[in-house]
Structure 1
Amino acid sequence: MASSSLPCAVSECKRPSRALCNCCQQYLCRDHLKQHDDLIDAQLPHLADQINALSDQFNNSTLLESSGLTELNRWREDAHKTVGQFYERKCQQFRQVVQERQNKQRKELDRMRSNMNELIREQEATQVQINSMTESIRSFEQDINNLQQVHFKINPLVIDDNLISIPQETTSRDLLHEPPQHQTMQSTSNIVSNNDRHLPANQKRNPSFPGKENRGFQISRFLVTIMDHI
């Protein structure tokens, strides 16, 4: 008893189908099934090249110079610049304070020298004046020492660790995502038909049953349904 087979899903193909393609759920003849298989296999080398390129990029040390690390280095440079500007501002303030105190000391020193010259010229100094001058000299000397040994009140620079937040993980994705088997970019019949249309005349599918040259085609990714006679 014979069962009728469905025609090949490829347009303009009059041959009966021999298998059901599991990825696109279309019935194909043996020739177009092999062409469909070859079209899928032909994409593998390109994908392998892309994986190798990704491997080279991943193993390249320049990968560490990511945009995030670049931003962190820029932040460090800006922070150093900010600290440097703060330091220069405080140095300027200190120089200004020193200059003001030195101006006062210079005036005091000129006053002491003038009084001393007057006492020497008149030769009528009293012990009280001598004691006062001695105390002024001692006080002036102490003031100079204090200025030379000035100590700043410096608080340590406290940096909040929350100033910079580093994500612990990137967005999770399924890197091995595979689309549903029934979804394809184009229907198998269109792909195979277009491919068959551009083949030279001597390479187009043989209208007769495929011979020895087609015996080795792979059907591992297809769900094969026998459509021949029982």
Structure 2
Amino acid sequence: MTSSSLVCSIDGCKRPITCLCHHCQKNLCSKHFNEHQIQVNNELIPMTDCLNELKMRLQIDEKTGPLAMLQMWRHKKYNEIDQEYNLEVEKLKKKISKYDEQISETVSNIQELINEGDASIDQVKEIQKIIETITDQVNNLTMSESIEIINEQNLLGTYIRMGSIQYLVKAKIKCNNIDLYGLESERSLVGYDGLCPQCGKAHVLFERNRGFYALCQTLHTQVYRKNSK
């Protein structure tokens, strides 16, 4: 009679053991070992299915894959740029039209005084003041605003020094219709938690205790003044 320690561990099976199954840590006969081996192999099938599904999700397809999300982001940014550009163009055209009308009106007034031939010194001084005002306006339009646009384009990815600390302009965001720059200091500073002052969220990934946000217009003005010195 076969010793119980030498027979298969499966209940009711009297076959002699063949090997130790590492799947269940039991001594099994060849039949039950093969069954366990089939079971192990069957566990691999859904793993393969899972990996194939993941592989399909990673397919670079402009309509269904992750590239589609990047394309959507790209179109969104292009639309935002177009909207901002069209808004700035409209504002610029209004200013140009306004200053052009002022110039034409002033030229007409001067011509009228010349034709009459009796202009007073006060009238001449008044026209001179008007010309100086228009000149300042045109200079501001053709130079200052152009410089501001250039500064805005060049700030991202640049370093700005404020006091003794240097900052990297890491990102530009819009939160609650407010344009903000995300700046990262060259070293950790107290109070720099990297949270947006408008909503309290972390829009940009900063190094710990090194990130903060600044109004775009404030930073543009500061850079412009610094460059003008």
When Rg is computed on C-alpha atoms for both structures, the one with the higher figure is 1
Q: Which has the higher strand share?
A: 2
> Using CA pairs below 8 Å that are at least 6 residues apart, which structure has the higher relative contact order?
1
TM-score, normalised with respect to structure 1 = 0.44
TM-score, normalised with respect to structure 2 = 0.44
